[in-house]
Amino acid sequence: MLEIWLILRLLAEVISKSKIMLDQRRANKDGYITLREAAALTSYSSDYIGQLIRNGKIHGEQVYSNVAWVTTEEEVRAYMADKTRTVVDSSQVDKIEALSERAFKYVLYSIISVLVVAILILQYIFYVTLDEKVSSRQMSVETSLETS
């Protein structure tokens, strides 16, 4: 039983290392650098570079099963040239569009609901008022019949 467990553990380590290698190869091929390398280009720490990526100031991608961030030298240099810029990912744009569409539907449905409730309240008031007028006319007719 212990041997099977050791074999499975070794197999899992080999698979995880091969995934890391694939991510590392893709990152190197696409020109990505680690945050430590990006920090060496600037006077910032690697943690601050990661914060800049998470805040959308520098474009970056997560590698190693979404554990580590990588960026490009061009992105770091572009940020150093213009620190007020904001990078917008196409996935972020899609998320914003989906959220705005959902918000629009929510507001639209809310307005329709309020209008339906308002119409029902007005209808209730109209029928109560009409019922009171009919009742008062009936009473006046009955009273006039009794007096005659």
| Structural domain spans, the chain | 2-87, 89-148
pLDDT value of residue 68: 81
Asked if residues 40 and 48 have their Cβ atoms less than 8 Å apart, the reply is: no
Whether this model's pTM surpasses 0.75: no
Looking at residue 134, what is its pLDDT? 79
Q: What is the DSSP string of 47-97?
A: HHHHHHHHTTSS-EEEETTTTEEEEEHHHHHHHHH-TT-----HHHHHHHH
Q: What are the mean pLDDT values of the chain's consecutive 10-residue runs (148 residues total)?
A: 63 56 63 88 90 86 76 89 73 72 86 91 89 80 72
Classify residue 46 by burial, with Cβ atoms within 10 Å: 0-12, 13-18, 19+: middle
Fold that domain 2-87 belongs to in CATH: Multidrug-efflux Transporter Regulator; Chain: A; Domain 2 (1.10.1660)
The predicted structure's pLDDT at residue 88:
63
Q: Which pLDDT belongs to residue 21?
A: 47
